[in-house]
Every structure is written in structure tokens, then in C-alpha cells.
Amino acid sequence: MVALASGHWPRAVGFMGAGTIGAIGLIFLGVALFPWHDAQQSALPGSARSPAAPEEWQAVEKPAIPVSIDMPEWKGLARSHEARRHARTRLREDMIAIGQPQSNALYARLVLARSANGEALPGSSFYLDVTRRAAQVGLAVIKTEAPTSLDTKFGPFEMAEAELATGSVTRPCFAFRGPEGESGIRLTGFVCGTAERKPDPRQLTCFIDRLEPSIEDRVVRDLFRGTDVYRNVACRNGKVSGGTKNRVAVN
């Protein structure tokens, strides 16, 4: 500080050769750069210093379809099934689709979510749940009505009219979720008509009531146990007929 105040600092620099100044500069440059370079390397995806975290959701290889449905109006339509499991909670989701979301034909999508040991699934709003499920297949929820209660063989479900769109195709649908209340299993999805014909509430009722378990899974079997006697009479033998107000036993 004294040398700087007295004006001698420039002369002192003069005695230092260009090579000395260059060496000092390289030292400071190395100190500055190497820690930064090391940090950058440790942040690279393939770096041994930062192992990649497991994916939150992992695909289930060759999953068994947990439920089946047999209704005349759904025959001949393409069907697909995929499943995934949450790495931390072990929650499993099976996604079943009938038809194609981009075509102007009947279309249905069902997501069966179940916990690993039957513990209650986390809750969320009906609208957010349906919107998320639609987005998974590239569908946008254009509008939806307030949910009402739908009587099924499993008990009350939430149901709402909705319009779903993909590209230039907008289709009228019924969105659903249930059974209501805390449970270790939940069915969420939508049943869609065509641009020319809205789906009938009876179609949704029968779509749900005609579901049958197709695997030996305790949580799935518990959901279905004793429900067939409450299947809506309009859905007998897979045929949609009559009204849907009476929840009666089917022999």
C-alpha cells in the first residue's frame, strides 16, 4: 500500500520481466480454471462423480393385463396395455386403451392405479387427475362439467361430461374416477363417443360394470369381490339396454 501511494509500484513492475508476469498469470489462471473445470466434469451425465438417479417411473416388462371387458360395441377396436411402477412408493399403474384417440370412433382409456400393500392412494382433485390422464396420450381437456355421482357395481364413482381434443379431432366424452373414498386401488379414465354422437351415460355405466379381474392379484381381487351381484341390470351380458338408475343383483 505504501509503494502504491508513493508511486513506486510501476517501477517495481518494471524490474519483473515479461516471463515472470506471464508465469504469475498462468498460476492465477490455473487456480481459477481447474476447480471450475472439475465441477463441470462432475455435473456431466456420464461422470463417475455424479451417478444418474433412477427414473421416477419404471416400465413393467411384459405386464399382465389386470382387468378385461367384453362389450359388443368395443369389439374390433385396437387395444393396448402398458404398465409402470414408481421407483420409491412402488405404486403401480396399468394403462389400458381401446381404440385410437386420433380417430373419429369410439375410444376408451382406463388407468388402474394400485398401491403395493393396499395402503390408501394419495388424493387429488378430479379435474387435475383427468387432465393429467388425458395429457398422457396427447389429449387436451377443452371443457368439463362439474362431477356428479355415478352408481356402479363398485359403489359411487365421480363422473363428468368433458370434451377432449387432439389435433383437429374434438370428441365428447365422459370422464370418471372411483371408487370414492380411501382405497388402495383406483380406476380413472374416460369413455368417448364420436364427433357426431355423444356417449350415452349407460355406456359408461356398463363399461365399468362389465370389467372383470384377469389376474391373481390380492388388491385387484379385493376390489371385485362380491360386486357382480350389484351389476346394473341394463348391462347384463354386456348389452346396453334400459335405464341405469336401478342397481340390482344379476343372477
CATH class of 57-238: alpha beta
Query: Coil, helix or strand for 53?
Result: coil
What is the CB neighbour count within 10 angstroms for residue 240? 20
DSSP label at residue 75: T
Q: How far apart are CA 209 and CA 69, in angstroms?
A: 9
Where do the structural domains in the chain lie, given as residue ranges? 2-43, 57-238
Residue 164 CA from chain centroid, whole number: 16
Q: What is the DSSP string of 79-134?
A: EEEEEEEETTT--EEEEEEES-TTSSS-EEEEEEEE-SSSPPPPP--HHHHHHHHH
Query: Which range among 22-26, 65-69, 236-240 has the greatest average pLDDT?
Result: 65-69
Average pLDDT (119-126) is: 87
| The model's pTM | 0.72
pLDDT at 120 over 80: yes
Q: Which residues of 188-213 are buried (b: 16+ CB within 10 A; e: fewer)?
A: bbbbbbeeeebbebbbbbbbbbbbeb
Say yes or no to pLDDT of 228 above 90.
no
Which pLDDT belongs to residue 240?
55
Tell whether the model's pLDDT for residue 8 goes beyond 80. no
pLDDT tens-digit map of 11-66: 444 434 444 444 444 444 444 434 433 444 433 344 344 444 557 999 999 999 99
Average pLDDT value for residue range 207-230: 89
Identify the three-state secondary structure at position 190: strand
Residue 145: C-alpha distances to residues 1, 97, 126, 196 (Å): 77, 23, 11, 20
Would you say residue 239 has pLDDT above 80? no
Strand 107-114 and strand 79-86: pairing? Answer: unpaired
DSSP state of 249: -
Contacts of 23 (CB under 8 A, 6+ apart): none
